[in-house]
Amino acid sequence: MGEQNISRGGDNEAKRLFTRAVLNDLRALELMIAKGHIESGARRIGAEQEMFITDHDYSPNLTALKILDDIEDDRFTNEIALFNIEANLTPRRFEGKCLSAMEEEIKEVISIAKHHAGNHDSKIILAGILPTLRQLDLTMDSITPVDRYYELNDRLKEIRGSDFRMDIRGVDELSVTHDNFMLEAMNTSFQVHFQVSGNEFVNMYNLSQAVTAPLMAVAVNSGLIHHYRLWHESRIAVFQNSIDTRSTTHQKRGAQPRVHFGNEWIESIVDVFRDDISRFSVVLTSDYEEDPVAMVEAGEMPKLKALMLHNGTVYRWNRPCYGVKNNVPHLRIENRVLPSGPSVLDEVANSAFYFGLMSGMSQKYQDITQVLRFSNARNNFLQACRNGLECHFNWINGDSISATKLIKNELLPIAESGLKNAGLDHGDIERYLSTIARRVESKQTGARWAIKSITEMDKNIHPDEKVRSIVAEMDKQQTIDRPIHEWPLAQVNNQADWRASFILVGQFMITKLLTVRPDDSMDLAASIMDWKRVRHVPVENDEGELVGLVSNRSVLKKIVEGGNHKATAIKEIMNEKPIFVTPQTTTVKAIQIMRNNRISCLPVVEDGKLVGVITEYDLIKIASHVLESDLKAYKQKMDEQESG
C-alpha cells in the first residue's frame, strides 16, 4: 500500500526539497552497494494477496473499512477502493516447503477475510478484474478515505491535464473516458517478491523481464471487463491507462508512460532509479531522512523513505525494491503482472513457475541479455497479455515458438530443475508445476474460461445477468479451491437474484446507439427506425452531447402535413428538450418519470454526453421477467400445498 503520511508534491519548495531527499537516498544506496552492505547469500520469497469485496449479488460492496476494523491482523491493509482489501504474506526463505507454507497462509488470510466479510453481508472474490464491476462503480465515492489516494488522484490529474482514457481492443472493443484515477481500482493482483543478493541483482532482474512473458501467458485471468471480451490480461492495459500522466503532446513525443515494462536491459539498479527520477516528476512528498549518507557512514542503514515513495509512484511491471530489517539492507524484485485468482492453488502454481524459472534460468544462462533481445522480451510480454496461451514468442536466439510448446517442452523442465537445485520439497514441486502443465495441456486459463463462458451463454440473456453468473461460478469453484483447468464453463445462475441487474438505469441501458445529427435528413431517421425496428432516435452534436430526440410520431406527423418533406432536417421535427436521466437513476424513478410524462423513451446522459437509452420495451422485458418469476414461484407454492 505504501507510505500514508504524505502530502502533495505540488508545492514548489516542498517538491524541490523532496527531490533533493530522493537524490540523497540514491547516493546512500550507491554507497551501501559499494561498501557491500546489501545482504547476500539469502534468497527469500513473499507476496501480496489482493481481493475484491462483493455483496451477495456479486456487485462491488464498499465495506472494506468495516471489515478491516474487525480484523485484528497486521497482515491486512486497505487498497485504493472500498471494494478491495490486501494481505501481505510473510517473507520466507526460498527452500523446503516454502511454497506449500505460502499456500496455507493465503488460505488462512482469505478465510479470515471471508469470515469478517460475512458479518457485513459481503463476499470475498479472487479476480484480476471483477466482471460485475461497472464504470459507475468507479466514482470518488468508492475511494478509500486516505490522504495518499486523494492526493495521488489530484496530482495525476493535474500533471495529465485531461481526463483518463482507456481503449482496449479484443474480440470486442471498449473505449472509456473517466474523470479520476479510479480505473486503477478495477485491478487486483497477486504480486510476488523475490529477494536476491546484491551482486546478482542485475542478472536476476533481467531474467525476470525475460520470463515475464511466458509467466503471463499461462497466468492470464482478466479476459472480461463486464461483458466485453478484451485482452486475456486486460489489467495491463487498464493499469497503464489509469496512471498515464502524459499529455497529448508528451504522447506524441514518445514520452515514457508511468506504467511501463522498460526500455532496455539494465546494467545496475542505480541506473534504474536514475532513469525513473529523470523521467518522472515527484508526485507525493513525505517525511524523509535528512542525511542518509551520514547514516551509512555511521553504520546505521537508512530506510530510504524518499526514494521508495518515488519508486512507489513509478509502476514498472518488474519493480526493483529496497528494504532494511535488523539494520541489514536487502534488494528484491517485485513482479507485478500476476492477477489475483482464479484459485489459491493456481496462484501458488504461478509463483512456483516464476521462482523456478528465475532459479533455473540463472543456472542455464549466465547473461540472458546475450541471447535474447530486449525488444523481443517486451513484445513477448504484450503478446502474452493480449492472447494468453494462444500467442507466439520470439525466444532465445531469435527462435519463433508457440507459448504452449515453449512452456511445456522447455520452461517447465527448467523451472523444475531450478526448484530442485534451490532445495525445495519434491512434493511441492510436483504439485505446483503439474498444475501448470495440466493448464497448458487444456489451454484453459482463467481468461479463456471467462471469455468462453460468456460467449456460449444464450445471447438473449442480459449481459449483467451473464457476468453475475460468471462471478457466482468463480465463487463456487474458489470455495473448493479447484484449479482453473478443471472448472466447468459458467452457466446462467438461476439461483441468483437477477433483479440486482436492474436496480439502476446504467445496468441495463442500451449503449450501442444509432444516432442522427440535427442537420441530417428526416428520411435518414425514418429509415433507421424502419431498419432497426425502433420508435425513437437520439439526436447528438459532434461532441456527443444530447441535443434532441426524434420519434416515429413526429416523422408521421410531418408526412401527414403534406408538402415537400424530402429536404426536411431533423432539427425541424425533433424534440429539442427531451427528458433524460443519468446512469445512476434508479429504475423505479425512471418508470415514474416515463409514466408521469407519458413518454416511452428516456435518453441517458452523463456529464452532458449521451451514453445510452432506455425504452418502454426494455421495461416491459424486465416486467415480464418479474411476472414470470413470481408466477413460477406462486405455482410451485400451490403445487406444494396440494401435494401436502
Q: Are the CB atoms for 53 and 85 separated by under 8 Å?
A: yes
Domain assignment present for residue 201? The answer is yes
Q: Are the CB atoms for 203 and 346 separated by under 8 Å?
A: no
Residues 6+ apart with CB under 8 A from 225: 129, 131, 133, 168, 174, 186, 234, 238
Per-residue pLDDT of 10-61, as tens digits, reads 467 888 899 999 999 999 999 999 999 999 988 999 999 999 999 999 999 9
Confidence band (pLDDT; 50, 70, 90) for 2?
A: very low
Domain with residue 315: its CATH number is 3.30.590
Q: 10 Å Cβ neighbour count for 141?
A: 9
**Of the candidate ranges 35-44, 255-264, 590-599, the one whose mean pLDDT is the lowest:** 255-264
Q: What is 7-73 written as a DSSP string?
A: EES-SHHHHHHHHHHHHHHHHHHHHHHHTT-S--S--EEEEEEEEEEE-TTSSB---HHHHHHH---
Between 420 and 158, residue with greater pLDDT: 420
> Considering only CA atoms, which of 130, 393, 385 is closest in space to residue 232?
385
Confidence band (pLDDT; 50, 70, 90) for 226?
A: very high
State yes or no: pLDDT of 318 exceeds 90: yes
Return the pLDDT at 404. Answer: 98
Return the pLDDT at 309. Answer: 92
Q: Which three cell numbers stand for residue 132?
A: 460485475
Mean pLDDT within 446-469: 93
Residues 6+ apart with CB under 8 A from 183: 138, 164, 166, 176, 238, 241, 242
Q: For residue 69, give Cα distances in angstroms to 79, 116, 559.
A: 14, 9, 67
Domain assignment present for residue 482? The answer is no
Mean pLDDT within 496-520: 81
The separation between CA 20 and the C-alpha centre of its own chain, rounded to angstroms, equals 34
Identify the domain containing residue 577 by its residue range: 505-621
Strand, coil or helix: 536 = strand
Strand, coil or helix: 640 = helix
Q: Are the CB atoms for 375 and 384 separated by under 8 Å?
A: no
- Mean pLDDT over each residue of the chain, to the nearest integer: 90
Whose grid coordinates read 464498499?
A: 62
Pairing of strands 190-196, 44-54: antiparallel
Q: Are the CB atoms for 146 and 2 separated by under 8 Å?
A: no
Return the pLDDT at 503. Answer: 82
Buried b (16+ CB within 10 A) or exposed e, 266-290: beebeebbebbbeebebbbbbebbe
Beta strand extents in 146-210 (DSSP E only): 164-169, 173-178, 190-196
pTM: 0.84
Domain assignment present for residue 283? The answer is yes
Q: Which three cell numbers stand for residue 172?
A: 470486442
Domain assignment present for residue 517? The answer is yes
- Return the axis-axis angle of helices 426-442 and 98-118, rounded to nearest 10°: 70
State yes or no: pLDDT of 165 exceeds 80: no
Domain assignment present for residue 393? The answer is no
Number of domains in the chain: 2
Q: What is 490-518 written as a DSSP string?
A: P---TTS-GGGGGSBHHHH-B-S---B-T
Q: 10 Å Cβ neighbour count for 178?
A: 16
Last residue of a domain, one of 315, 342, 369: 342
CA dist 600 and 620 (Å) reads: 11
Give the burial class of 603: count Cβ atoms within 10 A of its Cβ; 0-12 exposed, 13-18 middle, 19 or more buried.
buried
Domain with residue 613: its CATH number is 3.10.580.10
Last residue of a domain, one of 342, 361, 393: 342
Domain assignment present for residue 442? The answer is no
Return the pLDDT at 127. Answer: 98
> Considering only CA atoms, which of 444, 399, 515, 552 is closest in space to residue 220?
444
Between 4 and 603, residue with greater pLDDT: 603
**Of the candidate ranges 109-113, 361-365, 512-516, 630-634, the one whose mean pLDDT is the lowest:** 630-634
Q: What is 362-382 written as a DSSP string?
A: HHH-S-GGGTS-HHHHHHHHH
Domain assignment present for residue 353? The answer is no
Domain assignment present for residue 97? The answer is yes
Strand, coil or helix: 301 = coil
Residues 6+ apart with CB under 8 A from 531: none
CA dist 445 and 90 (Å) reads: 27
Q: Which three cell numbers stand for residue 474?
A: 468463480
Strand, coil or helix: 570 = helix
Last residue of a domain, one of 323, 342, 361: 342
State yes or no: pLDDT of 630 exceeds 70: no
Q: Are the CB atoms for 128 and 221 separated by under 8 Å?
A: yes
CA dist 544 and 524 (Å) reads: 18
Q: Are the CB atoms for 223 and 450 separated by under 8 Å?
A: yes
Q: For residue 457, give Cα distances in angstroms to 70, 229, 442, 461, 491.
A: 39, 13, 21, 7, 7
Mean pLDDT within 195-215: 96
